Amino acid sequence: MRSPFLERLERGPILSDGAIGTMLYERGVPYGRSFDELNLTDPALVSGVHKDYLEAGAEIITTNTFGANRLRLAEFGLQRKVRDINLRGVKIAREAREVSGRPAFVGGSVGPVGRPMTEDLARRGGEVREAFREQIEALLEGGADFVMLETFSDLAEIRLAIEAARSACDLPVVAQMTFGEDGLTLAGDSPEEVALALEEYGADVVGINCSIGPQGVLDAVERMVSARPRYIAAQPNAGLPSKQGQHFVYISGPEYFAEYAEKFLAAGARLVGGCCGTTPAHIAAMARVFTGRAPAVHVPAVIARREPDGAQPLPKKESPPTRLKQALDAGEFVVSVELDPPKGLNPTKVLEGARMLSERGVRFVNIADSPMARVRMGCIAMAKLIQDFTPLETIIHFTTRDRNVMALQSELIGAHAMGIRNVIALTGDPPGIGDYPDATGVWDIDSVGLIETLTRMNEGSDRVGRSIGGRTSFCIAAAVDPNSEDLDFQVERLWQKVEAGAHLLMSQPLYDPETLYRFLDRAGPLPVPFLLGVLPLQSSKHAEYMHNEVPGISVPKAVRDAMRAAGANGIREGVRLARELVLEVQDRVQGIYLMPSFGRYEMCAEIIEVLDSSRRPGVATGRAELSPAADRGPIIEGV
C-alpha cells in the first residue's frame, strides 16, 4: 500500500515544523544536557513545542529524538533507554496532534551518531548501522509516519542510516545533508552528487537542512534540481547564531523566511521547513505562503548578563608598545584590512593580497581565527608568514571558543615570542554553525576574561597570578556591536572590556552613520580609540544575506535598495557607498577596519583613497587626549 505521506507529497508542497532544540533551550533547558531524555522526564514541555508548531500551520511535526541513538545517548549514560526515549518521542508527537485537532504527519527524527566517519568506517560500520536500526525500530513501534534523517555531513554515514531504515521498515525516508559556505559537504560532495547518491541509496525525499541559512540552502536546492530527484526538501537554519551573554541568538526573522519559502517552492522544493534557530513564528510566516494565513512575527531573544569573576588586576607598569599601539598613541588615523587565512595548505593568495595592500600604504592587517566556525589555517601561523614576508604588522583575532584557559595562555605566550603582539579578544562563533557541527565549544572564559588575561600577561603574570618571567607587550583590541537592538547591554559590555584593559575598540560592519553616532552618544566619551568596521557590499544578494542571515549586521533599507538598483554594477555601488560612509564619519573615529568579501582586496585600496590626506595610512592627525574612564558616568545596570 502506498504511503499516505508520499501521496500527500504527490499532491503538492508540504510545510514542516522548525527547530525542537531551539524551542526547548528557549524554554529553559540548558545546552549540555540530553534534550531527548525530556521525552521521559518532561513530556509536557516537548508536547507544548509540537502544539505550537501545529498551531503555526505545520503539516509535519518531527519527534524530539534527533540524538536518541545509543552512541550519542551513551554520553549521558542513557544508552539503555533508546527504545523508551524514541517510543515516547513518537507518542508525544501523536498525542499533541490529536489534542490540537490538526492533521499532520509525524516524522521520526534521526541524526548522526555524533562521531566523525574516518578510515575505520569498515570496522565501525556494523556498529553504526545497528545503532540506527535500533532507533528506527523504536520510532516505527511508536507509530511514526516516515523517517526523517537530518543534519548529516557524510554520505557514508547517511548511507548506513538509509540501509538501517530499509532493513527495519517500509516507511518513507527523507534524507537531508548539510552544506558549507563553499556549497559542498564536509567531505567535498556537491549538491548534485548528494542528490544522486541519496536516491541511489533508497531515499524517497532528498534535501538540505541546517547549513548556512536560507541563501545557501536555496543555492543547494537549485543545484540539486539539476540531478532530477523525485522530491526535494529544504529546511535551513535561521542564519548564523551569535553568542550574547551566555545565550545564542539567531538573526534571520520570520518575514525573511517567508520570502525564502516562496523561493524554495519556485526552485522545486516539495518539503519546506526550518532548522536551528527557527520558531513557530517562522513557520507561521511560511504558512502564509502555503495557505494565506497571517503570521505572528515576534521572535524572542534571551540575553544574560555576565557576572564578574572577582579577580583583581595587579599594578600595571609600562610595556614596550607595538607599532599599532605607537600609532594609536601618536594620534594617527589607523587603517587595517582583514585577511582570511586559507582553507588549505597554500597561503600564496593571502600573501599576495597582503603584499598589494602594503604597496598601497596599509601598515596593519587583521588575521581571522576560523570565522563562522569554518576550519582555516591557524591565525598565529598565518600572521607569522605575513610578518616574515611583508612589512605589515598583524592583529590576530583570538577566540575563547576553541581553547581552554591553559591553551589560551600557552598559545599567546608563543605568539608573543614570534612577534605577534596585537590581539583582538573574541568569544567566537558557536561550532554548531561550522564544518563540524558535533564539535563542542570550550568557553572557559569569554572575551572580557581574555582581555583580563592579556592585561595580566602585560603585567608579568598568568591568569592566576604566577610569574611568566617578564611583561608581555600585547596591544589589546576588543569588538563592539553598534548594530545591536540592546544598546544598553552592548555599552555595558564595552565598558567591561575597557576596564578589563582593552587599548582599542573595533566595531562590527556599519552601513549607516546614524547607527554609529547613536552608539557613540550612548557610550559617552571613550578613553580608547575606536575603529569603524567597513565591509563593502558586492551585490543585492550579498546585502540581503548580510542583513538577514549574519548576526550583528544591519543593512539599512536605503542601502539594500541602492544595491538592488545597481544590478550588475553591484561592486562599484558597494565601493561608492563605503566611500561615502568613511568620508561622513572620519571625524568621529580614530581609524577604519576594512573587511573585503571574497578576497577583493583592491576594493579596500579604492576606499582608502577617499580619506583626507591627513588620515591616510601612516599620517598623524593630532587627535586630542581622550577622556579617562572616570568621566564616563555609571555603568548601566539591569541587563
The CATH number given to whatever domain includes residue 164 is 3.20.20.330
* Least reliable range by pLDDT among 93-107, 125-139, 261-275, 624-638: 624-638
Q: What is the pLDDT of residue 614?
A: 55
Q: What percent of the chain has pLDDT over 70?
A: 87
Compute how many other C-beta atoms are within 10 angstroms of the C-beta atom of residue 310: 5
Q: Give the integer Cα–Cα distance in Å for 229 and 192.
A: 9
The per-residue pLDDT for range 558-582, each reduced to its tens digit, is 999 999 999 999 999 999 999 999 9
Partner residues linked to 207 by β-bridges:
176, 233
Q: Are residues 236 and 385 in the same domain?
A: no
**3-state SS, residue 271:** strand
Total length of the chain: 639
The pTM is what? 0.71
Compute how many other C-beta atoms are within 10 angstroms of the C-beta atom of residue 542: 20
Residue showing cell 601612516: 618
pLDDT band of residue 624 (cuts 50, 70, 90) is: very low
- Residue 79 included in any domain: yes
Q: Are residues 280 and 330 in the same domain?
A: no
Q: Are residues 485 and 362 in the same domain?
A: yes
Its domain, for residue 399, covers 324-538+581-623
H or E element that contains 290: helix 280-291
Q: Are residues 403 and 257 in the same domain?
A: no
- Residue 634 included in any domain: no
CA proximity to 412, closest of 473, 465, 364, 343: 473
Is 604 a residue whose pLDDT tops 90? no
Do the beta carbons of residue 435 and residue 375 sit within 8 Å?
yes
How many independent structural domains does the chain possess? 2
- Residue 61 included in any domain: yes
The per-residue pLDDT for range 105-120, each reduced to its tens digit, is 999 999 999 765 544 5
- Residue 76 included in any domain: yes
What sign does the CA torsion over 217, 222, 226, 228 have?
positive
Q: Give the integer Cα–Cα distance in Å for 109 and 209.
A: 12
372 phi-psi bin (left φ>0, alpha ψ -120 to 50, beta other): left
- Give the CATH number for residue 404: 3.20.20.220
Q: What is the pLDDT of residue 318?
A: 46
Is 205 a residue whose pLDDT tops 60? yes
Q: What is the pLDDT of residue 18?
A: 96
Which of 291, 306, 339 terminates a domain? The answer is 291
CA proximity to 66, closest of 154, 164, 152: 152
Q: Are residues 221 and 330 in the same domain?
A: no
Q: Give the integer Cα–Cα distance in Å for 308 and 311.
A: 8
